[in-house]
Structure 1
Amino acid sequence: MGTAIFNSGKRKRFLLVFSAAKPYIRHASLVPLPIALLFTCLSFPPNPVAAEEAPIADAAGQTAKDDGPGEREKDAGEREKKSFWFIGTSNYHLRLEESEKRIDRQLNKPFGLLLPNWHRPATFKDWSEDWQIWDLWAGYGRDLGAKTAWSVYAGGGAGTVYNSDYYYPLGVPMEFDVNFTRRSSLLGSSVSYYPFGKPQKRRRGLKKSLAATRPVAEMNLGYTHQTVIGDVTISLPMIGNAIHVKDKSNDHLFWASPRLGLETPLTDDQSLNMLTGYLFFNDHADEFNGGLLEFFVRRRF
């Protein structure tokens, strides 16, 4: 816009000078001779040949710039968009056999004998069977070829299962607060393979998106830090917290996870991914091995 204003001002100046020179030629007595000569000189360009060649040179330079190999490579790179970021969540259906055995041994069996109406507390095993264990993660990736891609990601999750019940042995009320907490953090990397090529959406509409859906296979490797906490508090009237027991464990684990799924393009740059797979851990397999479902949105740039 600054260039347009400058050119407009120059054009107005040229027309003003030309109109001032013509009255001098027709009515010489109205304008002093030095001023008339000055106006007459200003009404002509200093170098007509240069003035005519400048637009041609500028146009040629602009054409060369537009058609240069650097510009073409830049446009091609923008169209390819080989990099992408993504954010997603996974739902876990884990075995959790070790923790269930420990809860039964330390809590359910002894208090089941002391209190006939003992209620088994809810645990993460119940959440797992109800598909209520989720985490959140995000990452960056890049295409390796027409049918392959690589990515790295990080994330984690945390949650607590709360239980509170009253029991009346010998008529004395006892409050049991039994809570289980889990925290996890993860770092992973994946290689994806598209047997029929990556999905591309070329037209709008839900049907076009579904028609462009392509299958994808993944292999994931990673590390996770798992923290498991069991907290039991028994409260009595007039006393308050009579018994408090806390059990905590930390595990550093490595895992592998093959997965299969579908990628559906939403726009030219965004897609929805849905995959299912299985987790294999190097240790505590009875606890952490299990199936999963994952959903994430990918955006290319």
Structure 2
Amino acid sequence: MKIIKLRHPYKQTEIPTEKVVLVLGFFDGVHRGHQKVIETGKKLAEENQLKLAVMTFNQHPSIVFQKLLPENMRYLTSLEQKERHMAELGVDYLYEVEFTSSFASLPPQAFVDQYIVDLHAEYAVSGFDYTYGPKDIADVKHLPEYAKGRFETITVPKEEDEGEKISSTRIRELMAQGNMEEVTNLLGYTYEIEGTVIHGDARGRLLGFPTANIKTKSTVRLPEEGVYVSELKVGDTWYPAMGSIGHNDTFGAGRELTVEVYILDFHRDIYGEQVAVRWNHLLREQVAFDGAEALVKQLKQDEVDTRAYFEKRNA
């Protein structure tokens, strides 16, 4: 897959000359609904012997439209994770357009001319709720008018699960509840984050549960605070683990939020490693214990429950 980063106004020499099926969307999470849209484009491309292209943005449009600080956005997938998902789905060209004020101010016709026609699209594929400007004049129903016969438009209906639309919003709500089984169902894969292992206060080691402290970017969306059945990826290997998101309230109020992972039967030093963490199942919510002894007792039970989870899953 070739990644093409565009900043408005781009140069036509940056665009491959081949005709493509162009799939449009932001695709945060690349969930099952998004996958259906991309798979529709993939099938069209194969049937017509065309390349499959996807166009997305480097940041969420609300940063420009609602004047939000970029570091305050919380994404289900980083741009790097999104790239990997797209490659796995068979995308040939991934256009990453910088969502700037100048790009956002394009009238619908100019957007279609410059970012669909000039990208050599034979077909433009999108979800039913895709917009490229004000909804009343720039939704999928108006797209054929702006196309002017230069490309065909394909609209993919909403993908539902148990009668409800699969959406990034719904997934974020489920994450806020700690319902990771349903998050996994709607994503089509287990939710994971990326970060760097850093030095913590070493309290876990003193308690008999040495943890890897994970430093994440501010833009990473974390599940609800709690203790989870997790997995941690070091290098190319996933290890069963017990993950915690919380403030360590047992040792005082007002502490920073941390992500800590206790890896089962693991005794290596991994400080400085770039790792990934999967969040499989919420064991319990975070609580402040009366002291270290009560906390250790609960952690031992959490480990028993974590091992039981993996034994059942691997049976």
TM-score by length of 1: 0.23
Higher Cα Rg, which structure: 1
| Between structures 1 and 2, the one with greater strand share | 1
Instruction: Tell me the TM-score normalized by structure 2.
Output: 0.22
